[in-house]
């Protein structure tokens, strides 16, 4: 579904991605794990068209992916950004409707809104509430719901569990599995490597802008070098 081929991305003189290649097949959950600053967010932002590629190419459903964020959304890729970035002054419902701003299919939008509310009953209860007054966990759910309102097939998720209480971390990972069950494909960037590797089918390890390891998630999780570098003790990342 998605093929990233040898992409390079720089911020001025800082080379953040140095020849990254990966693929995501339809229906998979693929995770990218790596330390702070490894380039995980840069990779998702490059796919979404927020950053310009120095070189390399990105294909989506066998076609070159457009290089503008609005066209990437139209092509069927939605992005749940790090830090949620909800519209703090809008209501929950208006935030969700913003996710559908490029769509014209009113009946399908209404049906998707109901789908999002059944996935996140909490958002339905709070649909008239101003988003800035939601808790961190609720804002994460809102950001996920808003992405689902774009009707994309591929969901890019950037650190969805960051800063959440342990109980909510589990909820977020349960929801990721539910989103896959809705027929979506997921590319998940996470620092919570244990949880991400448990949820994912396949994994890539990103280090200083390069993929240094890839394979089935269970195999990556069992790799002694990965365990030493990213996994610590399981209780460190419990939740």
Which lies closer to ligand ATP via its Cβ, residue 33 or residue 149? 33
Min. distance of Cβ 28 from ligand ATP in angstroms? 21
Which stretch in 31-39, 62-70, 115-123, 192-200 sits in contact with ligand ATP by CB under 6 A? 31-39
52 forms part of the interface with ligand ATP (CB under 6 A): no
Rg (C-alpha) for the chain, rounded Å, is 17
**Among the residues of the chain, which ranges form H helices?**
40-47, 69-75, 92-99, 106-119, 121-125, 136-148, 166-181, 193-199, 217-222, 224-226
The site that binds ligand ATP (CB under 6 A) totals a number of residues, namely 13
16 forms part of the interface with ligand ATP (CB under 6 A): yes
42 forms part of the interface with ligand ATP (CB under 6 A): yes
Min. distance of Cβ 205 from ligand ATP in angstroms? 11
Min. distance of Cβ 99 from ligand ATP in angstroms? 23
Min. distance of Cβ 162 from ligand ATP in angstroms? 8
- Under DSSP, the state recorded for 215 is E
235 forms part of the interface with ligand ATP (CB under 6 A): no
Which stretch in 22-30, 33-41, 127-135, 137-145 sits in contact with ligand ATP by CB under 6 A? 33-41
Which stretch in 9-17, 21-29, 94-102, 133-141 sits in contact with ligand ATP by CB under 6 A? 9-17
Which lies closer to ligand ATP via its Cβ, residue 94 or residue 207? 207
Residue with tokens 């992916």: 65
And the tokens for 178? Answer: 């539910």
13 forms part of the interface with ligand ATP (CB under 6 A): no
Torsion over CA: 88, 94, 97, 102 (sign) = negative
Which stretch in 11-19, 83-91, 120-128, 176-184 sits in contact with ligand ATP by CB under 6 A? 11-19
Instruction: Mention every residue, 6+ apart, whose C-beta is less than 8 A from residue 72.
Output: 47, 48, 49, 65, 66
Can you tell me the distance from the alpha carbon of 192 to that of 95, in angstroms, rounded to the nearest whole number?
Answer: 27
36 forms part of the interface with ligand ATP (CB under 6 A): yes
And the tokens for 142? Answer: 């809102």
Cβ-based neighbour number of residue 170 at 10 Å = 15
Query: For residues 160 and 83, is the Cβ–Cβ distance under 8 A?
Result: no
Q: Please, which of residues 173-232 interact with ligand ATP by CB under 6 A?
A: 191
81 forms part of the interface with ligand ATP (CB under 6 A): no
64 forms part of the interface with ligand ATP (CB under 6 A): no
Can you tell me the distance from the alpha carbon of 16 to that of 39, in angstroms, rounded to the nearest whole number?
Answer: 6
Query: For residues 28 and 184, is the Cβ–Cβ distance under 8 A?
Result: no
Which residues here bind ligand ATP, judged by CB under 6 A? Answer: 11, 14, 16, 34, 36-42, 82, 191
């Amino acid at each position: 579904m998605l093929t990233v081929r040898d992409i390079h991305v720089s911020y001025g003189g800082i080379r953040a991605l140095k020849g990254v290649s990966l693929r995501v097949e339809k229906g998979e959950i693929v995770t990218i794990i790596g330390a702070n600053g490894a380039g995980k967010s840069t990779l998702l932002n490059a796919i979404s068209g927020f950053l310009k590629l120095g070189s390399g190419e990105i294909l989506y459903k066998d076609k070159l992916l457009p290089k503008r964020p609005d066209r990437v959304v139209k092509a069927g890729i939605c992005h749940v950004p790090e830090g949620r970035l909800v519209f703090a002054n809008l209501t929950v419902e208006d935030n969700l409707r913003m996710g559908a701003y490029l769509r014209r299919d009113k009946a399908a939008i209404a049906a998707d809104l109901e789908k999002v509310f059944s996935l996140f009953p909490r958002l339905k209860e709070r649909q008239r509430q101003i988003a800035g007054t939601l808790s961190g966990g609720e804002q994460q759910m809102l950001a996920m719901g808003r992405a689902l309102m774009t009707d994309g097939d591929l969901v890019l998720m950037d650190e969805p569990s960051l800063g959440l209480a342990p109980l909510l971390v589990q909820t977020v990972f349960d929801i990721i599995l539910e989103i896959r069950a809705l027929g979506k494909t997921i590319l998940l960037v996470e620092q919570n490597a244990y949880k991400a590797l448990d949820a994912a089918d396949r994994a890539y390890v990103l280090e200083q802008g390069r993929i240094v390891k890839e394979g089935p998630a269970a195999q990556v999780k069992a790799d002694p070098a990965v365990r030493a570098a990213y996994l610590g003790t399981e209780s460190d990342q419990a939740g």
